[in-house]
Structure 1
Amino acid sequence: MFVHRAWWVAAVTALVIIGAGACATTAGLLVTPLHHEFGWPHGTISAAASVNLVLYGLTAPFGAAAMDRFGMRRMVTAALLLIASGAALTTLMAAPWQFVLGWGLLVGTGCGALATTFAALVADRWFAARRGLVAGILTAATVFGQFALLPVFSLLVDFDWHAATGTLVAIALLVTPLAWAVLRDRPADIGLLPYGATQPEPRSAPASVTRAVRALPLRSGPFWFLAGTFAVCGASTNGIMWTHFTPAAHDHGMPTGVAASLLAIIGVVNVLGTVGSGWLTDRTNPRLLLTACYALRGVSLMLLPGLFGPSVQPGMLAFVVVFGLLDVATVPPTIALCRELHGADGPIAFGWISVAHQLGAGTLALLGGLARELTGTYALLWPTTGALCLTAALLATSIPRPAEAPVTADQATCAR
């Protein structure tokens, strides 16, 4: 039975994203061992995690444009090697600035190039049908890599945190040759149509990397509405859950391995939530889907402080299941709205919206660490972030529909 090459490309893309995603949540596991070994304050360690998260976002739109200019296969390979280099340098560090350089700059930049904008680009180029579903599957791969491997890395960190970072180096290096062998820029490169297409896609000359700047829709009100909601998305996931959930649970007497296992449950459940969100995105108004996701996430975070304890109770299990279903379910409808509002520039617009996501994440990662240093607790972090999620739900309902078909950045350049 013939399987369209698009599905093989999607499968390898998922593996690449899982490999890159495994680096995203490891910083939360490193907070305690780095504090004990080097005596660095929580705020200093969180600063490196904040740089990682911000660069993860800032790289995204330029990564999408660079893949368009230099080729997907070359850029993915370069990004994986950058991740491997940064993680390897981290194993040799002896000062905070080295952690910022290795984990913040190199790993953050490499992971940013392989963020959800990469998933959006693959879904947009290789699929004419089932785009929402594919975007959901690839987004789920991101979170699966970030959370499902946490128990393994938690055990490695308990043994020796150098072993955990060394394992990340090995994962990146193992995935690299597979990406080089399978990935191609477009179906037409191997004589195929996108999955579900009946006519060849229009070909254009490779765009300049500066397209990432030219495609930034600064004067678009809907863009800023989406950016605002996605900033809250980053603050309430990467910013607090990925960076501060484990140390916060440890403050309440919960073993680090148990807390990491709870995050792993979130990652596994995320697969169902994100794929389901992609399926719904193909069939319903994405604005309503975003509103529901942010509202329910906000309520769950407000309830979280009362669920912490030295052992896992049914309430905490219910929280991780609900949060897992909602965690990255916002991505497929956001990608769909970028495509609806910005046309062919949708993946790059989504890249800029991802910048807002990571700015929100980096801000909360830093503020969470500072709050812990100043007050000795994370108690106020959860309800405050929950209130931000409820605000994002209101913003999502206000995103207008486009009045007319958008003009791409390249079309605008040609017109001039």
Structure 2
Amino acid sequence: MRKLHYSWIILFLTFFSIIVAGIVRSSSGVFVIPFEEEFHWDRSMISFAFGLSLFIYGFSGPFMGAIVQSVGIKKMMLISMGTLMISLILTLFMSEPWHLVLVWGVLNGLGASLFLTVLSPLIANTWFVKRRGLAIGILTASTATGQLLLLPLLAYVIEDSTWKNAIVIILILSMIMFLLIWSFMKDSPRKIGITPYGSEEEIVSESPNKLKMNPFKTAIDTLFYAFKHKEFWLLAGSFFICGLSTNGLIGTHFVALCVSFGIVAVTAASFLSIMGVFDLVGTTASGWLSDRIDNRWLLFWYYALRGLSLLLLPYALQQGSLTLLMIFTVFYGLDWIATVPPTINIARNVFGLEKSVIIYGWIFAAHQVGAAVAAYGGGVIFERYDTYSYAFVGAGIFCFLASLFVIIIRKEQAKN
């Protein structure tokens, strides 16, 4: 019987760690009303803390990518998961608004950053030569899956008992993941005397200078290096739109949109959970395809079809058809972050293995800016026009623009 290569053990360990980090970060949505009712805090203040978490986890990514090159993958994963655990424990004892800002806004954002930004390309680049696109697809699929999958369960626990019990459930998951990382995670194949999956060459030793670098200076210097390349602006621009059209708009306003058309909130949250399930399938398939097909055309069709679906969503809701809504849910779940594997592939081809992890972190930061714009802008549009239709139609049009951004990248830079 053929022995399982250790790269696959690392892959699935990372997969579940990303899912747990995604659950911790995204659970904020189900705690808004419980925090408001128990502590009598303004919803705007609670939203500020949760929004700060989004901002910090997005913009910490490039620095996490630089720091991990100095301290190692395993140690950084333990520090990050430990930070999430501390934030959850402190949540159980908070009593003042600034506690929430510090615990959830800062600690939660910092803890989630490594897992939800640069860890996927870092693991794929370090542990895989063959099947690298598939590895990225599996890992990035876990990001949205973790953020959407457990929301109905947590909402049920809060409704049936108390929000503290929901926090304890997430904390237990984090503790289990911390122990698994401690027991089985390795920094690199070289550390255990093997080569990456699919490699037939000896692993080159790490440069001694790499360990002495200033991670913050490295992140900033890499950003200015990326500024000189047209491909960075095209990928960052398309990812801005990706964030705007996924967790910024759908993730924030989908439930409210459904409620405005008479669909109950629990049903709407369940549709989001179903999106998470199909995201696992779609993004894994996207990773497999990105090893075989021109990555520009993959991105072109992902964005174009996403744009079309956003234009049709308000129509489906106006018809009051749960069947059409389910079709949208399945399709959108398949497409949710299918854009990530080909985007990472193009970044790696343009900037090389070493720089691409940090540069992808900056590209993902643009994703989070787009998410923040849509999260805030969707609410403003609804307050002004008493409908979300303009927001979703606008996002659909932006997706068509993103499809044009990616298709003008030079073909040789999009090789799989």
Q: By the TM > 0.5 criterion, same fold? A: yes
| 2:90 partner SS | helix
- Equivalent position of 2:12 in the other structure: 11
Range moving further from structure 2, 71-80 or 202-211: 202-211
1:256 corresponds in structure 2 to: 265
The aligned residue for residue 212 of structure 1 is 219
Q: Which runs of 5+ in 1 are unaligned?
A: 404-416
Moved over 6 A (4+): 309-312
Corresponding position of 1:80: 81
Please give the residue correspondences for 1:318-337 in structure 2 after superposition, counting only pairs within 5 Å.
318-337=327-346
Identity of aligned residues (%): 36
Q: After the TM superposition, which residues 257-276 of structure 1 pair with which residues of structure 2 at under 5 Å, given as runs?
A: 257-276=266-285
Q: Is the 1:46–1:369 contact (alpha carbons within 8 Å) kept by the matching residues of 2?
A: no
SS of 2:118's equivalent in the other structure is helix
Q: TM-score, normalised by structure 2?
A: 0.90
Paired with 1:95 and 1:373, the residues of 2 have a C-alpha distance of 29
Tell me if the contact between 2:381 and 2:387 (Cα under 8 Å) persists in the aligned partners.
Answer: yes
Residue number among 290, 301, 307 corresponding to 2:299 in the alignment = 290
Counterpart selection for 1:387 from 365, 375, 397: 397
Distance 1:124 1:289, change over 3 A: same
Instruction: Return the offset for 1:289.
Output: 0.5
Question: What letter matches 2:270 in structure 1?
Answer: S
RMSD after superposition: 2.3
Is 2:261–2:320's contact at 8 Å kept on the other side of the alignment?
Answer: no
1:6-405 paired onto structure 2 within 5 Å: 6-37=7-38, 43-159=44-160, 160-205=162-207, 206-207=210-211, 208=213, 209=215, 210-216=217-223, 217-308=226-317, 313-344=322-353, 345-373=355-383, 376-401=386-411
Does the 8 A contact of 2:58 with 2:117 survive in 1? no
Given that 1:31 and 1:247 are in contact with CA atoms closer than 8 Å, whether structure 2 keeps it comes out as no
- Taking the aligned partners of 1:248 and 1:74, their CA distance within structure 2 comes to 42
Q: TM-score normalised to the size of structure 1?
A: 0.90
Higher helix share: 2
> How far apart are 1:382 and its partner, in Å?
1.5
- Maintained 8 Å contact 2:61/2:361: yes
**Residue 100 (structure 1) shift:** 2.8
Q: Greater CA deviation, 209-218 or 109-118?
A: 209-218
Change in 2 beyond 3 A, CA 1:250/1:158: farther
Cα-to-partner distance string for 1:164-201 (whole Å, 9 max, x where unaligned) = 23322222122001011111111000000000000012
- Taking the aligned partners of 1:394 and 1:25, their CA distance within structure 2 comes to 31
- The offset of 1:110, in angstroms, is 1.1
Unmatched runs of 5 consecutive residues or more in structure 2: none
- Relative to structure 1, the CA distance from residue 44 to residue 392 in structure 2 (aligned partners, 3 Å threshold; closer, same or farther) is farther
Number of aligned residue pairs: give it: 404
1:220-243 superposed Cα distances (whole Å, 9 cap, x missing partner): 111011001011111111212222
Which region of structure 1 is more displaced relative to structure 2, 167-176 or 120-129? 167-176
Contact 1:25-1:146 within 8 A present in 2 as well: yes
Higher mean displacement: 67-76 or 89-98: 89-98
